[in-house]
A and B are shown apart, each in its own frame.
Chain A
Amino acid sequence: MAQQIFAYILHKNGVADDSALELVAAAKKIDAGAKVTAIVTGTGAPLDALCKEMAASYSSVWKIDNAAVAYPNAEVIRKILVKLIPKGSILLCPHNTFGMDLAPGLSIKLDASFVSDVVAIEGIDGSNLKVIRQEFSGQVSTHILCDISNGAVVNTRPGSFKADESKSAGGAVTDKSSEAGDLSAKRRYLELVEAQVGDVDITKSDILVSVGRGIGEKDNIPVAEELAKAMGGDVSCSRPIVDAKWLDKSRQVGTSGKTVKPKVYMALGISGSFQHLGGLKGSPFIVAVNKNVKAPIFQVANVGVVEDMIEFMPVLTEKISESK
């Protein structure tokens, strides 16, 4: 394949994001023999160390050292990438809050195609890249043909590609800092406001009774609390419950909430979006209770109960109390 493949390496103070090695795997799905270039932006010694580390996995590493990108402001980084990436190239990015900020606009500026939140890459099909995405919160999948004749920006879903740990690229680091161009931007990063720890720290809970949209109304929250009490656990939830202000943000499990590692996770009325499941670590025993038998949560749960959670919760609570 004639096209050059690039990967944008996201990191925190020199510590690579998990996506850094996932993008190696994704690039190989496009072209097994590709010589992939990693682009790493940042500043100082942590950047130098990360570039060296990435050279083990990428044939080439482009380093851009500038204080303006000490924090990854997508508005600035987009300008750098437009300047550095040759027309017609393919750029891989993680589809996280940074990639979502950066990539759609970048595809416009590069006059390249954009395909978002890719979960699998099937390969090249003529002038197209064939990929798989999901729609309707993961309930259905779609094959997508993305015309790459003018290049493409491809955002891959975190965790969808298995990190390539082979570290056999033996690449070299090139300092491209002087080619970055004008780094002025109309958006200025101010600060990161850390999430609050709530009244209960769900990251420390062994047993979580987690409720989602299926709970229907706020008045049903105490019913879940009763169940959690009977089980000796705590109540957590998925995003819609926090959006509705029925529970505090500190109770939310997911990539935009808390990462939890309980022994037992009971998901009630939760469909099981990848953002929610992204907050679940440590291989808990997962029980899914959902009236929709097709809910994606049943694909990841160990045990499933097809019931309306509102009717099932009191039955379960009462039986647990009786069994004690």
Chain B
Amino acid sequence: MEILVCVKRVPDTAENEIKINSDGTDIERDDLVYSVNEWDNYAVEEAIQIRDRVGGAVTVATIGDKDSEEILRREMAMGADKGILISDDAFEGSDGKGISKILAAEVKKGKYDLILTGAQADDGAGQIGGMLAAILDLPYASIVNKIETVDSKKIKVGREVEGGNQEMNEIEMPCVLSIQTGINEPRYVGIRGIRKVASIEIPVHKAKDLGVDAASVGAAGAKVKRVDYFVPPAGKGADIIEGSAEEKADKLIELLKAKGGIK
């Protein structure tokens, strides 16, 4: 099976406090560590596991600048066979539709049975997989937490739906799936693994290589634009307990007892 996984380089904000820059145009990115989007990493792991079961190859592609090469190498160290960096100044400022158009052009250059994206990334929109499928006129399933290979024409996929239930579907290939976290346990990538793939050449595809009309993507083609970042005025919020850790624990225990939080 030929599998393409679309990945994105994002800042790791899970455990970090995010600050907005002085004019509100961006978050402060200088101190943030970047890595591959968590959802995408699960998608790559899933692709590798499918390839190891049924054969074929896994290609990882990303849209970004030179810095994005590092995440391609990371995913290749995991086991992806090829990496493609899709990079052009004309792509900057693309909205979801622009990104999807660029990725669709990349997909058309290959012959893939399965195209995977993460279910969402840092902006939480969760839109690329669905748009990509629609542009390519391929069937789509979102928030996939299980893939069973059936035969060369179709697969069975589980979608995570409300309440922890799983919606099972049969879907014809080629198809596009957006992958949910927890579908597998992504393997660890050590520095040694990354060194092994350090010298593999990663092709760079520009707008003209893909036949993408530069005016239809990037900031010029974007119909959905972010005006600013802001932090909404804080509500009342929690009563913050002050003091040493011991004092905080004592005060908290009193409150918990009053609210029935200690039996």
Q: Does B23 count as interface, using CB distance less than 8 angstroms?
A: no
Q: Are A142 and B228 in contact (CB under 8 A)?
A: yes
CA distance A188 to B138 in the complex (A): 14
Given contacts A106-B134, A232-B263, A299-B235, whether A137 and B124 have CB atoms under 8 Å apart is yes
**Which residue on chain B has the smallest CB distance to residue A148?**
B223
> Using an 8 Å CB-CB cutoff, how does the interface string of A134-152 with B read, 1 for contact, 0 for none?
1111011111111100100
Band of interface residues on B: 35 or more
Q: Does B126 count as interface, using CB distance less than 8 angstroms?
A: yes
Q: Does B91 count as interface, using CB distance less than 8 angstroms?
A: no
Q: Are B245 and A307 in contact (CB under 8 A)?
A: yes
Min CB distance B262 to A, Å, is 5
**Which residue on chain B has the smallest CB distance to residue A263?**
B260
Question: Which of A144, A186, A315, A323 is in CB contact (< 8 Å) with B245?
Answer: A315
> Using an 8 Å CB-CB cutoff, how does the interface string of A19-45 with B read, 1 for contact, 0 for none?
000000000000000000000000000
Min CB distance B227 to A, Å, is 4
Which residues in B have their C-beta under 8 angstroms from that of A286? 238
Q: Does B218 count as interface, using CB distance less than 8 angstroms?
A: no
> Using an 8 Å CB-CB cutoff, how does the interface string of A212-224 with B read, 1 for contact, 0 for none?
0110000000000
Q: Are A147 and B14 in contact (CB under 8 A)?
A: no
Q: Are B259 and A213 in contact (CB under 8 A)?
A: no
Which residues in B have their C-beta under 8 angstroms from that of A134? 124
Which residues in A have their C-beta under 8 angstroms from that of B16? 292
Q: Which of B228-263 contact A (CB under 8 A)?
A: 228-232, 234-235, 237-241, 245-246, 248-250, 252-253, 255-257, 259-263
**Which residue on chain B has the smallest CB distance to residue A12?**
B162
Which residues in A have their C-beta under 8 angstroms from that of B226? 142-144
Q: How many A-B residue pairs have CB under 8 A?
A: 278
Q: Which of A237-276 contact B (CB under 8 A)?
A: 239-240, 242-245, 249-250, 252, 255-259, 263-264, 266, 271
**Which residue on chain B has the smallest CB distance to residue A294?**
B17
Q: Which of B108-130 contact A (CB under 8 A)?
A: 119, 122-130
Q: Are A142 and B162 in contact (CB under 8 A)?
A: no
In the complex, how many residues of chain A place their beta carbon closer than 8 angstroms to a beta carbon of chain B? 98
Q: Are B18 and A263 in contact (CB under 8 A)?
A: no
CA distance A91 to B175 in the complex (A): 26
Which residues in A have their C-beta under 8 angstroms from that of B229? 135, 140-142
Which residues in A have their C-beta under 8 angstroms from that of B164? 195, 249-250, 252, 256-258
Q: Are A264 and B18 in contact (CB under 8 A)?
A: no
**Which residue on chain B has the smallest CB distance to residue A110?**
B134
CA distance A193 to B181 in the complex (A): 18
Given contacts A97-B159, A108-B134, A141-B229, whether A117 and B17 have CB atoms under 8 Å apart is no
Q: Does A80 count as interface, using CB distance less than 8 angstroms?
A: no
Which residues in B have their C-beta under 8 angstroms from that of A97? 142-143, 159-162, 167
Q: Which of B96-115 contact A (CB under 8 A)?
A: 96-97, 100
**Which residue on chain B has the smallest CB distance to residue A129?**
B224
Q: Does A105 count as interface, using CB distance less than 8 angstroms?
A: yes
CA distance A81 to B15 in the complex (A): 41
Interface centre among B170, B250, B252, B257 (most CB of A within 10 A): B252
CA distance A239 to B182 in the complex (A): 9
Question: Which of A98, A115, A230, A245 is in CB contact (< 8 Å) with B224?
Answer: A115
Q: Are B139 and A146 in contact (CB under 8 A)?
A: no
Question: Which of B13, B97, B240, B252 is in CB contact (< 8 Å) with A108?
Answer: B97
Q: Does A109 count as interface, using CB distance less than 8 angstroms?
A: yes
CA distance A101 to B119 in the complex (A): 10
Question: Which of B134, B156, B235 is in CB contact (< 8 Å) with A109?
Answer: B134
Min CB distance A27 to B, Å, is 19
Closest 3 CB pairs of A and B: A232-B263, A104-B130, A304-B238
19 A-B pairs, CB-CB below 8 angstroms?
A101-B143, A106-B134, A108-B97, A133-B125, A135-B124, A146-B223, A147-B223, A186-B175, A188-B171, A195-B163, A231-B256, A232-B263, A256-B160, A257-B163, A263-B260, A264-B256, A264-B261, A287-B256, A303-B252
Q: Which residues of A contact B (CB under 8 A)?
A: 73-75, 96-98, 100-109, 113-117, 130, 133-137, 139-147, 150, 185-195, 206-207, 213-214, 230-233, 239-240, 242-245, 249-250, 252, 255-259, 263-264, 266, 271, 285-288, 292-294, 298-307, 311-312, 315-316, 319-320, 323
Q: Which residues of B contact A (CB under 8 A)?
A: 11, 13-18, 20, 27, 96-97, 100, 119, 122-131, 133-135, 138-143, 156, 158-172, 175, 181-182, 185, 223-232, 234-235, 237-241, 245-246, 248-250, 252-253, 255-257, 259-263
